[in-house]
Chain A
Amino acid sequence: AQSVTQLGSHVSVSEGALVLLRCNYSSSVPPYLFWYVQYPNQGLQLLLKYTTGATLVKGINGFEAEFKKSETSFHLTKPSAHMSDAAEYFCAVTSGSARQLTFGSGTQLTVLP
């Protein structure tokens, strides 16, 4: 079985400040981890993913995430928030032979001017 916990359903940051969105996972086998972003009335768009290899993963729009096995975490960061980053962010996991993604409950990011 696999699961994802996203700490903080709402996060607010000032424009230009660091963005940190937290994700912890549970998986009985090595996980594959994803971050998706969802803008209002749009589908989910992949930001980045970790499969194997380098644990620091860079994605689109300046986002990156680090896979930490010892902490079972995959937190998403961006050094400097932009107004256009305001959206809902979902962490997801899959593993083993599973094809489907298991999502967290999401974090709504607000960027304050």
Chain B
Amino acid sequence: KNQVEQSPQSLIILEGKNCTLQCNYTVSPFSNLRWYKQDTGRGPVSLTIMTFSENTKSNGRYTATLDADTKQSSLHITASQLSDSASYICVVSAKTNAGKSTFGDGTTLTVKP
């Protein structure tokens, strides 16, 4: 069964600090992994998308890594800002069963001043 597990479930950090969110998956055969940021009551916004051959991708202060061998990904946020407070969702797609991506439960990040 395809699964995506994210950790931690929630995280509180001080403004300006860095943090790393984790995503482990068992989706197979792997197609791509995406990280989304979702503000409360809003739709998810794409941060990064990585395929099998990519192991790092950056989007401003967000850097995602992918280890396809261990089936792990991380999202590193540098110099956090209050606006980074949101839910971060890891989504993994398989080459088969197209259209039915597997969502993680998300990590809720709170950045405090």
**B is bound to A:** no
B residues near A (Cβ < 8 Å) are none
A residues near B (Cβ < 8 Å) are none
